[in-house]
Structure 1
Amino acid sequence: MAKSNVCYHDQPMGFFYNNSNITSDEWDQTQLILVQVAGSICCCFILVANAMIIAAVVTNRRFHYPFYYLLANLAASDFLAGIAYVYLMFNTGKISRDLTVQGYFFRQGLLDASLSASLTNLLVIALERYVSIMNWKVHSNLNKRRVTLLIALVWGISIFMGAVPSLGWNCICSLNLCSKLAPIFSRSYLIFWSVSNLVLFLIMVGIYLRIYIYVMRKTVVLKAHTSGSINRKRTPVKLIKTVMTVLGAFVICWTPGLVVLLLDGLKCEQCDVLKFKRWLLLLAVLNSVMNPIIYSYRDEEMWTTIKNLMCCVRNGTRRQRSSKANIQRGSGRETTSSLKENTAEDSKVSTQEMLKS
């Protein structure tokens, strides 16, 4: 057993994989290529789709409200997740053993920061929805300055959470405390990470259950008095359904991974945690793929804006092509006209010479 006062910052990751008794790299060459190809396609979709969501919120004035600003920030966290997955795919397998400690911290920090950003942003959206729905309003009264501060707070917390292991909460100086899923992360950190995220899940589910019960009671009261007012108040219910669908997908995709991390942190000897590692990563990728689909499916205005943006991009490329064609045609016409002018001048000169003779 290694001494607790000896640190191994200069060792490659292969040293820590061996310390955690991880003898196989899990991916053979064929599997790795298939994963990289399929993952690259998914990541391209994640990056493009979430960029379109952000562009839709920026360009459409109907989305210039706190809820949609926070929704765009959630799309930005999924965009970061897409970048993190791309980096992970091309730095996994046998390459993982050749990584430096700093390179491994950076790889895992990107994933942790994107997860923290998504989770924190969902919590902020839940609180924003709670305030607005309890006042029976479509949107809350948050001004742009407060929304900007909330977004900055979300990213500040996320970057800090992603950097915590590299700041000292690791097992580089205590190899007997290392986990299996993350060979330089201490098991106590995995317990903290998984439990805190699961508690946040429960808090958000409780908030939305409270909102749902309130909306159902309010709907019954409005139906008893008049049907007109309830028709005008359907929009907040729509937004609630959209966010609840996003939260449900997030919980389904991330809860199994957090449970496995918790089991690894608790040093469950009977649990083969490495067996589920690749499938949990696939679930995480699917969550970032699903979110932009949910936004566009649940919100007709969002889907219409995205289609208009795609049409603008398509028309822009067509205009560029047509402008190039027009330039080429114009240059051809100018060449032809210059040739005609030169021919006419030559004929005039020859006629004058004939008359002189």
Structure 2
Amino acid sequence: MSGHNVCHHDMPMGFFYNNSNITSDEWDQKQLILVQVVGSICCCFILVANAMIIAAVVTNRRFHYPFYYLLANLAASDFLAGIAYIYLMFNTGKISRDLTVQAYFFRQGLLDASLSASLTNLLVIALERYISIMSFKVHSNLTKRRVTLLIALVWGISIFMGAVPSLGWNCICSLDLCSKLAPIFSRSYLIFWSMSNLVLFLIMVAIYLRIYFYVMKKTVILKDHTSSSINRKRTPIKLIKTVMTVLGAFVICWTPGLVVLLLDGLKCDRCEVLKFKRWLLLLAVLNSVMNPIIYSYRDDEMWSTIRKLLRCVRSGTRHQRSSKANIQREPTSSLKESTGEDSRVSTQEMLKT
């Protein structure tokens, strides 16, 4: 009765961990330090690599099309995921028990928002590819205004989904409904979250399979008529393969986590969901590491643009170093000149006397 009527907003997270019978923090000190060091390196790569993807789309005019704008937005969601992983790594273990309810909502909200942004971006890209490929065009006719509205809609949905538990769909006032993986999240919310994402996975896979078979059918028809058309139409196929690779990596890395969340929501006591927690986090980080590699590997133009940006950064760094060196040399040279002038003046005075 008290669990239904009394809310515990002011209690630390240790209270909710104990309520969910989570007695171990899973990480000892050595494991936590190792995870933080390796994770920080991976997250730095995620931040830098995705920032380079966004910069490549902005600076190269050949990427000023709806598909690449949406791809840059997908890189922005991975950038947010890198920030969320850093925040999570340094607020986990024993520190988790000392967090306030608001801090825990913020920590999990960052992760949920980044996942929602990635998933919604992939869905929007799938629809954009479907519209363009069904007319067998490389790029769709979406205007920049519509693409901007789509991007704003993606982030609006993502922020809302990340904030849903803190807006009331939690178990702070109903402790018997709390889950184990997220001790202040309701099991019903985990069921909704995992099922909705898995359904979206199936929808996107169906869309891309439909696109792929359509393109392959059109390619066979064109091959019988002219070889020049085939060469001209290979770019849509490359873009489809790029996105399908990204989607495949996303599904492989996130499906196990969503299944475990679903089992936790269904209160599967035999499943021992806590044992898989650290490996699921590792898979999530691995997905954000893989995405920028896939973009640059599958797209030669993207990789060449990134290399040019890296050269500009290096040349800019060298220029700054050389300018600093010149600034340091100038006072020395001016001192030598003034010393030489003083010696000449003194010599003339001696001759006069």
- After superposition, the C-alpha distances for 1:227-268 in whole angstroms (9 at most, x for unaligned) are 101101111110000000000000000000000000000111
Q: Name the structure 1 match of 2:142.
A: 142
Task: Describe how 1:164-313 pairs up with structure 2 within 5 A.
Answer: 164-313=164-313
Q: What CA distance in whole angstroms lies between the structure 2 residues aligned with 1:284 and 1:132?
A: 30
The residue that corresponds to 2:80 in the other structure is 80
Q: Which runs of 5+ in 2 are unaligned?
A: none
- The answer to whether the 8 Å contact 1:242/1:294 transfers is yes
Question: Given the alignment of the two structures, is residue 316 of structure 1 paired with residue 316 of structure 2, yes or no?
Answer: yes
Larger Rg over CA atoms: 1
Q: Deviations over 1:42-62 (max 9, x none)?
A: 101101110111111111111
Deviation per CA, 1:46-88: give whole Å up to 9, x if none: 0111011111111111111111110010000000000000000
Paired residues of 1:194 and 1:259 also in contact (CA < 8 A): yes
Q: Write the deviation string for residues 266-300 of structure 1: whole angstroms up to 9, x where unpaired.
A: 11121110010000000000000000000000001
Residue 346 of structure 1: CA displacement? Answer: 1.2
Change (3 A) 1:322 1:3: closer
After TM superposition, the score normalised by the length of structure 1 is 0.98
Aligned to 1:54: 54
Give the gaps of 5 or more residues in structure 1. Answer: none
Superposed displacement of residue 5, structure 1: 1.2
* Percent identity of paired positions between Structure 1 and Structure 2: 84
Q: Contact between 1:179 and 1:265, CA under 8 Å: does it hold in 2? A: yes
Note the C-alpha offset of 1:191.
0.3
How many residues matched?
Answer: 353
Deviation of 1:332 (Å) = 2.1
Query: What is the aligned-residue RMSD (CA, Å)?
Result: 0.8
Q: What CA distance in whole angstroms lies between the structure 2 residues aligned with 1:111 and 1:328? A: 47
Cα distance in 1 for partners of 2:2, 2:223 equals: 70
**Residues 120-142 of structure 1: CA deviation (Å, up to 9, x unaligned):** 00000000011111111111111
Aligned counterparts of 2:152 and 2:175: Cα–Cα separation in 1: 36
Q: Secondary structure at the match of 1:171?
A: coil
DSSP 3-state at the match of 1:4: helix
1:6 Cα deviation after fit: 0.9
Distance in 1, Cα, partners of 2:190 & 2:341: 82
Stretch deviating more after TM superposition (161-170 or 302-311): 302-311
Deviation at 1:327, TM superposition (A): 2.1
Which residue number in structure 2 is paired with residue 67 of structure 1?
A: 67
Contact 1:82–1:288, Cα closer than 8 Å, also in 2? yes
> In the TM superposition, what is the alpha-carbon distance from 1:330 to its structure 2 partner?
2.7
2:31 maps to what in 1?
31
Q: What is the correspondence of 1:331-342 to structure 2 with a 5 Å cutoff?
A: 331-342=331-342
Matched with 1:113 is: 113
